[in-house]
């Protein structure tokens, strides 16, 4: 075998190798949309026409139009964070009111409005210092809601004082400082680790001395299941009562709409400790519908007073039960 034959063999092997490697590098077929969605960790799209709660409720009526699947309605409501006891009550009432041909979604809307009750506003005195105690777990939007409230009161021409009774988190007091500056509110704070009750007492005295119209008290929100937090909040409430000569005019729970059904446990723990007068439901600008407030209203009798729909000062509205109900049932 001469050298030429060896060269030809080497060239042929090289060509075969290059062709083989290029074939392996060719891109694979694009993934189908569902496999792409899975890789991105997303849920598979829901069937068309059944995405909103209202549409899904309408689908519980069987084809003959005369019977409805009431268990399915209960499940839909529980999945919307309504809570089993309140869901049962709604199903019972809707079933009683249902007649062949009626729209179960409209009946559910009526029930939701009935559970939520008439609108309820913040109730603050016009002739003396109004005290608003604000509680809620960390991250629920407590400080932001306080900042928005301060801005709203200031815009109405009221003198606002803020008390930083979350003396544990440095970030909380810095954030409160920023909000106080924006709304021109007077801020009472003490050094980190100070007694929250002592801050609350000082704040009432300072607000009264300045002739403030409203004092909003921020509090700590480490997990509600830890007893020391609840004891601390009870003490802050007692101190406010002693300093002002009466219970706080409002004790608001800030509840994150994305929390789901756990919100009822939070509300129960807080109202047992400090007797809530209202809920501020935050983060309703996202996809969460906040169904848990139905259970809070129904089981604990605490009205929803405010709704947070963003991170800026203007993103706080009085609770509108018709708009809330419509949003709950929409896509």
- Interacting residues toward ligand GDP by CB under 6 A: 136, 138-144, 175, 221, 254, 282-283, 285-286, 308-311, 315
Beta carbon of residue 141, minimum distance to ligand GDP (angstroms, whole number): 3
Beta-sheet pairing, 130-135 with 278-282 = unpaired
82 within 8 A of 294, measured Cβ to Cβ: yes
Sheet holding 186-188, edge to edge: 186-188, 160-164, 214-218, 130-135, 250-256, 278-282, 304-308, 316-318
Cα separation, 103 vs 112, whole angstroms: 15
Whichever of 56 and 224 has its CB closer to ligand GDP, that residue is 224
Beta carbon of residue 165, minimum distance to ligand GDP (angstroms, whole number): 12
The helix/strand/coil state of 258 is: helix
Beta-sheet pairing, 160-164 with 214-218 = parallel
Whichever of 120 and 143 has its CB closer to ligand GDP, that residue is 143
Residue 70 phi, psi (nearest 5):
-70, -30
Beta carbon of residue 331, minimum distance to ligand GDP (angstroms, whole number): 20
Whichever of 59 and 309 has its CB closer to ligand GDP, that residue is 309
What separation in angstroms does the CA of 326 have from each of 81, 105, 266? 16, 10, 25
Whichever of 104 and 136 has its CB closer to ligand GDP, that residue is 136
Question: With b meaning 16 or more CB within 10 Å and e meaning fewer, what string describes 176-187?
Answer: beebbeebebbb
Beta carbon of residue 310, minimum distance to ligand GDP (angstroms, whole number): 5
Beta carbon of residue 280, minimum distance to ligand GDP (angstroms, whole number): 9
Beta carbon of residue 181, minimum distance to ligand GDP (angstroms, whole number): 16
Whichever of 56 and 283 has its CB closer to ligand GDP, that residue is 283
Cα separation, 128 vs 151, whole angstroms: 19
Whichever of 86 and 140 has its CB closer to ligand GDP, that residue is 140
């Amino acid at each position: 075998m001469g050298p030429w034959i060896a060269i030809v063999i080497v060239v042929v092997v090289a060509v075969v190798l290059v062709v083989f490697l290029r074939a392996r590098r060719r891109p694979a077929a694009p993934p189908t949309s569902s496999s792409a969605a899975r890789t991105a960790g997303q849920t598979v799209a829901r069937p068309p026409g059944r995405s909103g709660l209202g549409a899904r409720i309408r689908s519980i009526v069987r084809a003959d139009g005369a019977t409805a699947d009431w268990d399915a309605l209960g499940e839909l409501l529980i999945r919307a964070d309504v809570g089993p006891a309140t869901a049962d009550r709604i199903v019972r009432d809707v079933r009683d009111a249902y007649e062949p041909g009626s729209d179960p979604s409209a009946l559910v809307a009526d029930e939701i409005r009935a559970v939520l009750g008439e609108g309820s506003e913040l109730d603050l005195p016009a002739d003396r210092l109004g005290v608003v105690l604000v509680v809620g777990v960390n991250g629920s939007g407590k400080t932001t809601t306080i900042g928005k409230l301060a801005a709203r009161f200031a815009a109405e021409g009221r003198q606002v004082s803020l008390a930083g009774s979350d003396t544990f988190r440095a970030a909380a007091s810095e954030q409160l400082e920023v909000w106080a500056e924006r709304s021109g509110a007077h801020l009472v704070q003490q050094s980190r680790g100070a007694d929250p009750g002592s801050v609350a007492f000082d704040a009432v005295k300072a607000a009264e001395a300045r002739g403030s119209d409203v004092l909003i008290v921020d509090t700590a929100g480490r997990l509600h299941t830890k007893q020391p937090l609840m004891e601390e909040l009870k003490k802050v409430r007692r101190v406010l009562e002693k300093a002002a000569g009466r219970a706080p005019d409002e004790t608001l729970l800030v509840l994150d709409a994305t929390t789901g059904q756990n919100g009822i446990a939070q509300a129960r723990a807080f109202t047992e400790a400090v007797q809530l007068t209202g809920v501020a439901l935050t983060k309703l600008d996202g996809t969460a519908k906040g169904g848990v407030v139905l259970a809070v209203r129904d089981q604990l009798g605490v009205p929803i007073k405010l709704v947070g729909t963003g991170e800026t000062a203007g993103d706080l509205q009085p609770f509108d039960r018709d708009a809330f109900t419509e949003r709950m049932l929409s896509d």
